Amino acid sequence: MAEALQQLILDTLDAQSSIKDSRALVLPGQKEPATSHEAQITILGALNSLLSREMIKYETREVFTHVLTAEGASIAKEGSHEARVWSALPVKGQGTPVTPQQLKKLVGDETAKVGQGRAFKNGWIGKEGDGFVKTTNTINDTTQLDLQEIESTGTLKTGEKVLADLRKRKLIIQKKGQWFTVSKGPEFSTSTAKPETDLTADMLTSGAWKTAKFKKYNFEAEGIPTNGGALHMLLKVREEIRNIFLEMGFAEMPTQSYVESGFWCFDALFVPQQHPARDLQDTFYISDPPHSLPPEPEYYKRVSTVHEHGAYGSTGYRAPWSHEESSKLLLRTHTTASSAHMLYKLAAKCRGEKIDGEDGDYTGTKTAVDSGDGFKPAKLFSIDRVFRNETMDATHLAEFHQVEGVVADRNVTLSDLIGFMRVFFKKMGIEKVRFKPAYNPYTEPSLEIFAFHPMLDKWVEVGNSGMFRPEMLEPMGFPKDVRVHGWGLSLERPTMIRYGINNIRTLVGHKVPIENVENSPAVRF
């Protein structure tokens, strides 16, 4: 049908050079012209197909047509109610008048009710005694005739007034229709052979490409979605947080060493050697090799002394020092181990060490001013992986990412830390923050940071922070009035909140649905 119709349109154009009214076409297999709405829809399909090949051009015209309702169709067939009433009655003086009850039986309740009044109004029937009789021998049932005309042409020659009346009587309804004028397009031909869509090797060797007709590119067509790489949600949030640090003037710390020694992960941070965090239950230890190389001996001595006997105004832990414990290798349990390395480097000049060349930019202090004693203020951050020997559940894994920052400067106070936290979390989209005193072996005072979570409607812990202890900073060689504050938070928690993820296994690991990764929007705090 589709092919035949396209051929008919092309042949008609070939013969008449244009089609002025598509309603005049007689569709293949039909006898009557295509005046119906459905027929024009079929024609439109064929026209669009030919238009895409530029074989034709067409314009759309709109018309309002009328179609009969079920009642209208029955009147077109059997006459109006008033005509049916009239037909059921005897001519005046030639029979027994029909009573209203009898009429109902003859033509049905509905027709009797509606038809009676109209037949009277038209002067077709009259009363005689108790009943009705015809008062005229012939009638002109215009309603039936009008409806028949509408049925075949979609409209009425006599005009809008009658149409409006028939609409009001719910015998017809108006329909928006369309029809088309058609003319030849630049690629007009009477052949409907499909144009080629691909240039093939065969066409090139046979030379068929020279005469082949090719389908035009459709630049309006939507492309197939590309399956390119997609950034994982954690990487998106990580990048966003990284940008917050960078815009606040922080430098990124190198954090590539997942394996640390007990010394850097704990001792340097003044974590007692008996602390439960060092337990096998909390920390993954490395069995091969089991021990680290020794740290710089002077620093090692200062650290072991402050633990065992106390120094710098501190009484220390007064517990025997274990070199074995200090040299154990482990997977770092926090990125504060990396911060310790960096702070130790930052204090190098204060210890009077000569540093190769300019002091490098590994501490992010290239532009900071040395105060004469070798100290330069620094703001450092890192976002990287840490490992804890935890029981895994919906919100805990044995490895996760920590976001960490440290700020080192003279005379920094706790208010600076709190003020800084507010600014930092505000940039992460967290407006309401609260602080609660907490305990860390390496900071005093220490503060847990809570944020109000509007979705959960409660305060949730989002980070841990504090002012690093002199027991940690002074063995490194920092001048007494240098203060360092720092804080840490997990990367997974804000990511889960951001993307509405409840189970960490849909964020990390082999159960991550790949569509989540492909479809997750960029994050903006």
- Examine residue 465 and tell whether it contacts ligand PHE (CB under 6 A): yes
**x-or-dash string of contact with ligand PHE, 427-446, rule CB under 6 A:** -------------x--x---
CA–CA separation, 66 vs 338, rounded Å?
Answer: 82
- Examine residue 464 and tell whether it contacts ligand PHE (CB under 6 A): yes
Interface residue with ligand PHE, options 79, 97, 154, 466 (CB under 6 A) = 466
Q: Which residue has the tokens 């075949």?
A: 152
Nearest distance in Å: CB 466, ligand PHE? 4
Residue 101 token pair: 């009850």
**x-or-dash string of contact with ligand PHE, 388-417, rule CB under 6 A:** ----------------x-------------
Which stretches does DSSP call E strand in 216-272? Answer: 251-252, 259-261
- Examine residue 487 and tell whether it contacts ligand PHE (CB under 6 A): yes
CA–CA separation, 135 vs 122, rounded Å?
Answer: 10
- Examine residue 488 and tell whether it contacts ligand PHE (CB under 6 A): yes
Nearest distance in Å: CB 378, ligand PHE? 14
Nearest distance in Å: CB 510, ligand PHE? 26
CA–CA separation, 355 vs 375, rounded Å?
Answer: 13
- Examine residue 469 and tell whether it contacts ligand PHE (CB under 6 A): no
- Examine residue 336 and tell whether it contacts ligand PHE (CB under 6 A): yes
- Examine residue 334 and tell whether it contacts ligand PHE (CB under 6 A): yes
Residue 345 CB contacts under 8 Å (≥ 6 apart), including other chains: 362, 363
- Examine residue 255 and tell whether it contacts ligand PHE (CB under 6 A): no
Residue whose CB is less far from ligand PHE, 111 or 333 = 333
CA–CA separation, 306 vs 288, rounded Å?
Answer: 30
Nearest distance in Å: CB 465, ligand PHE? 5
Position with the least CB separation from ligand PHE: 488
Q: By the 8 A CB rule, do 290 and 227 touch?
A: no
Residue whose CB is less far from ligand PHE, 316 or 466 = 466
Q: By the 8 A CB rule, do 326 and 304 touch?
A: yes
Residue whose CB is less far from ligand PHE, 420 or 487 = 487
Residue 43 parent element (H or E): helix 37-52
Nearest distance in Å: CB 494, ligand PHE? 15
What's 27's DSSP letter? Answer: -
Q: By the 8 A CB rule, do 467 and 407 touch?
A: no
- Examine residue 338 and tell whether it contacts ligand PHE (CB under 6 A): no
- Examine residue 470 and tell whether it contacts ligand PHE (CB under 6 A): no
* 473 closest CA partner among 492, 458, 486: 486
Applying CB under 6 A, what is the total number of residues that bind ligand PHE?
Answer: 11
Helices (H), 395-444: 414-427
503: three-class secondary structure by DSSP: coil
The C-alpha angle 130, 88, 110, rounded to 5 degrees, equals 85
- Examine residue 494 and tell whether it contacts ligand PHE (CB under 6 A): no
Q: Which stretch binds ligand PHE (CB under 6 A): 14-22, 76-84, 127-135, 483-491?
A: 483-491
61: three-class secondary structure by DSSP: strand
Using CB under 6 A, list all residues that contact ligand PHE. Answer: 334, 336, 404, 440, 443, 464-466, 486-488
